[in-house]
Amino acid sequence: MRNNNVLGIVFSNMYDEVLPGLTAVRPMGSVPFAGRYRLIDFTLSNFVNSGISKVGIITRNNYQSLMDHIGSGKSWDLSRKNEGLYFLPPFTMSDELYAGRIASLIDIRPFFRNAREEYVILSDCHVAGNIDINNIIKEHISSGADITVACRHGFAPPLKDNLIMWMNAENRIIDIVLGQHPAGECDYGVGLYLMRKDLMVGMLEAAASRNQMNFDRDILLRHLGDVNIHGYRLPEHTSVISSLGSYFKANMALLNTNVLESLFDPQRPIYTKVRDAAPALYGLHASVSNSLVADGCFIEGRVHNSILFRDVRIARDAVVENSIVMQGSVICERTSLNYSVLDKDVVVKAGRVLSGAEDYPLFINKGTVV
């Protein structure tokens, strides 16, 4: 199905603050995930799998790695003569511009004016999920909603601007609170919104004229009584990244075969940058169990319950357990890692012992020599 009437907008920098170590050198959308992917891969793949062929990526800072990863968009079939992928970098370096989604969207009004699509779907990058956008579009049109907000039912993540909502029997949102963390289960937003483009632009301009820059508060909450806003509960497995601990758990959950198959459904593939590399090489003394190992790794030690990205080196007599080791890292002899997250190009020298906890993993910054 081709949804040529829907324009996709991706916020690559939303929620950078929840992963300060990983986003110090990259935006949230470029954070590595699951051995070979980036978080933005899920958003772009969800759009493309639903036939959305025009996508704009709003960037703020540290977006060089994102541009290197996405390139022309060829891996997502977004490299086209007409339409396709658009990078929308900031026109000013003022921090005030990025006080919220509204300011970012106001800044790209010429992009909306030149777009022929009737609808627009907005998405953040802090959610890893294989979401069928077609179902959201169908529900939006059939319900007659002006705005559809995707949500999950469960325990709300500890985000400072949580969108908590209540819906009636017809899934119309009847109440919203922001920034709360209920003790029990609830319906909470995942940063995914669908609406008509002209409606969105009109609301944006009205809010910006009053210096109102919070999309959830100044668009959704303010217009709750006069605009038909519906909620759509996502049936698919999704992981909301709200802290280093949740990032760690979202990756570790992939060691469960059911979760892995749910997220990487062959009917809706998750695309990423293609890179040719030799398969992983295992030494005579290697022992690997219940782990995801990417191409190009060379393992001579013991790896258990861990995720290794491309080109990781594990020396003989080294032990890596319950850990995430990113691209190009080197673990030397007689080293022990447990409940640790190592960014790219980390070197852990011989004889080191690094350990965190399941709910508080140890994080090592990119390029660090320990």
> What percentage of residues in the chain have a pLDDT greater than 90?
88
CA 301 to chain centroid, in Å, comes to: 32
Which pLDDT band holds residue 96 (cuts at 50, 70, 90)? very low
- Alpha carbon separation from 194 to 31, 138, 149, 151, 261 (Å, rounded): 25, 11, 7, 12, 27
For 203-241, what is each residue's pLDDT tens digit? 999 998 998 889 999 999 999 999 999 999 999 999 999
Instruction: Tell me how crowded residue 63 is: count the other CB atoms within 10 A of its CB.
Output: 21
Return the pLDDT at 92: 54
pTM here is: 0.95
Mean pLDDT value across residues 247-252: 97
Confidence band of 277 (pLDDT split at 50, 70, 90): confident
Q: What are the two backbone dihedrals, phi and then psi, of residue 41, each rounded to the nearest 5 degrees?
A: -60, -35
CA 138 to chain centre: 23
Joined together, the tokens standing for residue 192 give 């995914």
Which fold does the domain 281-364 belong to in CATH? Answer: UDP N-Acetylglucosamine Acyltransferase; domain 1 (2.160.10)
For 249, counting Cβ atoms within 10 Å of its Cβ (0-12 exposed, 13-18 middle, 19+ buried), the class is: middle
Mean pLDDT of 74-99: 76
* Chain centre distance of CA 240: 8
CA R_g for the chain:
21
| Res 42: pLDDT | 98
Q: Are 159 and 18 in contact (CB under 8 A)?
A: yes
Tell me, what's the pLDDT at 99? 56
For the ranges 64-73, 95-104, 244-253, the lowest mean pLDDT is seen at 95-104
What is the tens place of the pLDDT at every residue in 316-333? 999 999 999 999 999 999
Confidence of residue 345 (pLDDT cuts 50, 70, 90): very high
Question: What CATH topology corresponds to 6-263?
Answer: Spore Coat Polysaccharide Biosynthesis Protein SpsA; Chain A (3.90.550)
Structure tokens at 180: 């709360």
At residue 9 the predicted structure's pLDDT band, cuts being 50, 70 and 90, is very high
Cβ neighbours of residue 190 closer than 8 Å, sequence gap 6 or more: 124, 127, 129, 150, 151, 152, 234, 238, 240
Model pLDDT, residue 81: 82
How far apart are the C-alpha atoms of 118 and 195, rounded to whole Å? 9
Q: What is the pLDDT, as a whole number, of residue 53?
A: 92
From 81-85, 134-138, 282-286, the region with the lowest mean pLDDT: 81-85
Res. 97 pLDDT band, cuts 50 70 90: very low
Q: What residues does each domain of the chain span?
A: 6-263, 281-364
Two tokens, residue 142: 């059939």
